[in-house]
Amino acid sequence: MEWFETWFDSEYYHKLYKNRDDKEAEQFLNNLIDHLQLNLESNILDLACGKGRHSIFLNKKGFKTMGIDLSPNSISWANKFNNDNLRFEVRDMRESFCESEFDAIFNLFTSFGYFESKTENLKVLKAIEAMLKDNGVFVIDFMNANKVIRNLVREETQSIDSINFRLKRSYENENIVKNIDFTDKENDFHFIEKVQALSLEDFQSLISQTNLKIDSIFGDYNLNPFDNEVSDRLIILGRKG
């Protein structure tokens, strides 16, 4: 199994990241909706949705939404929120499962670049292309890898729910790597996170090999311009055709 199949499906992944800023995420989505001028008839796909926090908020805003993720445990939890206009399925984001169905596809919170080969990223973009309607929009919200590498915290310990998560970060072979070690119930655990340090130029090169076009590039959740040196995020908005 690939690292993300085990780590993202683990209860400990959700413990470590339990304090994510939901208000910030909701404000980002509101900014996107306003910028993209999405109408309430839009059909949105949340690609690599995790437990569905973005999908659930989009549905509350009135959009028909589907969330997909490779983690069965995450989708099982998200399914509690199913309704006529919100559904979740276990799927691999590298594989399209419909043709020209969605008005918008969101890939949020650095849910890209997990793979051993950069060619796998192209499969994700090809799947987005296949599943978008003509002139449908896509959003990729990625880290600003340049800033992350420059400010890498090499080692730290985070104590959450009486568990001491020992985190070691490094930049290796064009990947940002996090080793996660901890003990719980007298058992020792080790997991790894590994994300390709993709630059804007990498995304531009990949997207140029599809029928997707970039419209806008932003550097934070308030949709300020992207600056490779200071921006926290690399947010790419575009459309099909």
For the chain, domain boundaries: 3-143+198-240, 148-194
User: Residue 137: what pLDDT?
Assistant: 98
Helices then strands, each counted (H, E), the chain: 8, 11
Look up residue 167 and give its amino acid: L
3-state secondary structure of 173: coil
**pLDDT score of 203 more than 90:** yes
Q: Which two tokens stand for residue 221?
A: 């959740």
CA distance 109 to 91: 18
Distance CA 55, CA 34 (A): 17
Closest CA to 35 of 137, 103, 143: 137
Residue 151 pLDDT: 97
How far, in Å, CA of 69 to CA of 205, rounded? 25
Transcribe 82-148 into DSSP letters. Answer: -BTTEEEEE--TTS--SSS-EEEEEE-SS----SSSTHHHHHHHHHHHHHEEEEEEEEEEEE-HHHH
Bridge-based pairing state of the strands 64-69 and 43-47: parallel
Report residue 20's pLDDT band, with 50, 70 and 90 as the boundaries: confident
pLDDT on residue 118: 84
Instruction: Say what the pLDDT of residue 83 is.
Output: 98
**pLDDT tier for residue 72 given thresholds of 50, 70 and 90:** very high
User: Distance between CA 149 and CA 158 in Å, rounded?
Assistant: 20
Beta carbons within 8 Å of 163's beta carbon, 6+ residues apart: 12, 15, 182, 183, 184
Identify any residues that bridge with 172 across adjacent strands, giving them in sequence order: 175
Radius of gyration of the chain (CA): 18
pLDDT-derived band at 187, boundaries 50, 70, 90 = very high
The whole-number pLDDT of residue 233 equals 98
Summarize the confidence of residues 118-147 as an average pLDDT: 97
SS3 call for 213: strand
Query: Are 203 and 236 spatial neighbours (Cβ–Cβ below 8 Å)?
Result: yes
- Residue pLDDT, tens place only, 21-67: 889 999 999 999 999 999 999 999 999 999 999 999 999 999 999 99
Residue 90's Cβ-count burial label (10 Å; 0-12, 13-18, 19+) is middle
Which helix (H) or strand (E) element contains residue 33?
helix 22-36
* pLDDT higher than threshold 90 for residue 182: yes
Say what percent of the chain tops pLDDT 90: 96
Q: CB 18: neighbour CB atoms within 10 A? A: 9
Q: What percent of the chain has pLDDT over 70?
A: 100
We find that the CATH architecture of domain 3-143+198-240 is: 3-Layer(aba) Sandwich (3.40)
The pLDDT of residue 26? 96
Res. 126: pLDDT tops 90? yes
Residue 225 is classified by DSSP as: B
Q: Say if residue 201's pLDDT is above 90.
A: yes
